[in-house]
A and B are shown apart, each in its own frame.
Chain A
Amino acid sequence: MGEIRATKRLDITGDCCPITFVKTKLALEEMQPGEILEVLLKEGDPLVNVPRSLKSEGHRVLQVKKVRPDTYLLIVERGKLE
């Protein structure tokens, strides 16, 4: 997959569940369907819970990149569902 241009970037590496998802959800709510959000998050609970919650709310995780040994970058396309 080629380079995807993100509209917004969010760092939730300092947060714990459920604040991780709340922040992600709030960020996506301020965006238009189809726009891209980059989310930087820690492995463990955030990595387990945030992608599955995004999926169940109708957003699309396009890419998952490991950027540091314990940190991941999710590239998320804002979905149409509210």
Chain B
Amino acid sequence: MSLGYKNVNFSELKKGGFIRQQGPDLFIMRLRSIGGHLTSKDLENIALLAKKYGRGEVHLTTRQGVEIPGVRLADYQELIAAIKRLQLLPGACGPRIRCIVSCPGQDVCPNGVVNTQEMARQVDQAFFGRDVPAKFKIAIAGCPNACTKPRENDVGLQGVVYPQLVADRCSLCGLCQSLCPGGAIKIVADRVTIDRQRCCGDGACIASCPTNAWVAERRGFVLYAGGKMGRQPRLGDRLLDFVPGEEVIPVINSVLQGFITRRQGNERLADTMARLGTGIFRKLISYTSRREVAAGGRD
């Protein structure tokens, strides 16, 4: 069956799953993962699709997606149907919220301090594919090592855990002082002290403490905003020092609203923030935390 351009649903194409490539009537089918996670069944199904509709090969995208190149326009509708049937997820391009990038997080990585995969699912569900003035990228890292480069994204989340000492369990072995990367922990006159300003929230003290004297006081995310790469790269600014997991979605939503309201033309969030200044942009974030609401705005 031959299908020409008139039979193609261009509104669906525009959402980004199907992108023109070099060569006549050849397309790339872009699929997304959520936080880089694909099951072995997904991989088998992608392999089958690549063999049947493409050139028997895939390209792994920088945003943890999988692209099948060499798809013929005539196969578009059949391929879209197959993708839906196999419960694979189409990607996005253009001025939209792109695939959510994430590291494996605490489920797998020894350094992970937050559940990044669950957060990626929530962020994907809330924002993926939403139309915005310019491309908008979100990345999640499970610890301050920041492997997924949150500061190179429009919004970057970086997991942190802030410790608290249960003093009567402490044996004063000094291990935490020796391995604290920020030099925040000091033992002075047989007393363990922590300089909160220098604590980077990587949880090394909690993970290593032989007597479990260091425990997690609060776990959440640092929020960076206004990062991008490309011709004029900019690292994102540390917009909020701590966002609890359950407040991440309203905060990102607030950043998006601030961006949409104050952007000029189709500039990226990085350009809006550079133009306005980070301090002014931060004031636009009208998000109210649940704790603030509970405290009647006095938190």
Q: Which residue of B lies closest to A44 (CB)?
A: B179
Q: Which residues of B contact A43 (CB under 8 A)?
A: 178-179
Min CB–CB distance B9 → chain A (angstroms): 51
Q: Which residue of A lies closest to B202 (CB)?
A: A48
Q: Which residues of B contact A55 (CB under 8 A)?
A: 207-208, 210
- Residue contact A51 to B171, C-beta cutoff 8 Å: no
On chain B, the number of residues with a Cβ less than 8 Å from chain A's Cβ atoms is 11
Q: Mark B144-177, 1 if CB is under 8 A from A, else 0.
A: 0000000000000000000000000001011100
- Residue contact B178 to A72, C-beta cutoff 8 Å: yes
- Residue contact B179 to A47, C-beta cutoff 8 Å: yes
- Residue contact A48 to B173, C-beta cutoff 8 Å: no
- Residue contact B174 to A66, C-beta cutoff 8 Å: yes
Min CB–CB distance B279 → chain A (angstroms): 36
Q: Which residue of B lies closest to A59 (CB)?
A: B210
Q: Which residues of A contact B23 (CB under 8 A)?
A: none
Query: A43-B178, A47-B178, A48-B179 are contacts. A63–B207 as well, Cβ < 8 Å?
Result: no
- Residue contact A52 to B207, C-beta cutoff 8 Å: yes
Q: Which residues of A contact B175 (CB under 8 A)?
A: 47, 51, 61, 64
- Residue contact A1 to B178, C-beta cutoff 8 Å: no
- Residue contact A48 to B210, C-beta cutoff 8 Å: no
Q: Determine if A22 is an interface residue (Cβ-Cβ < 8 Å).
A: no
Q: Determine if B285 is an interface residue (Cβ-Cβ < 8 Å).
A: no
| Cα(A48)–Cα(B181), bound, Å | 9
| Cα(A53)–Cα(B208), bound, Å | 8
Which of A43, A49, A53, A64 lies at the interface centre, i.e. has the most chain B CB atoms within 10 A of its CB?
A64
Q: Name the contact of B178 in the complex, choosing from A53, A62, A63, A64 (C-beta under 8 A).
A: A64
Q: Which residue of A lies closest to B207 (CB)?
A: A52
Q: 7 A-B pairs, CB-CB below 8 angstroms? A: A1-B171, A48-B204, A52-B207, A55-B208, A56-B110, A64-B175, A64-B210
Binding site for B on A (CB under 8 A): 1, 43, 47-49, 51-53, 55-56, 60-64, 66, 72
Binding site for A on B (CB under 8 A): 110, 171, 173-175, 178-179, 204, 207-208, 210
Q: A52-B204, A52-B208 are in contact. List 5 more A-B contacts (CB 8 A).
A: A1-B171, A47-B178, A49-B110, A51-B210, A55-B208
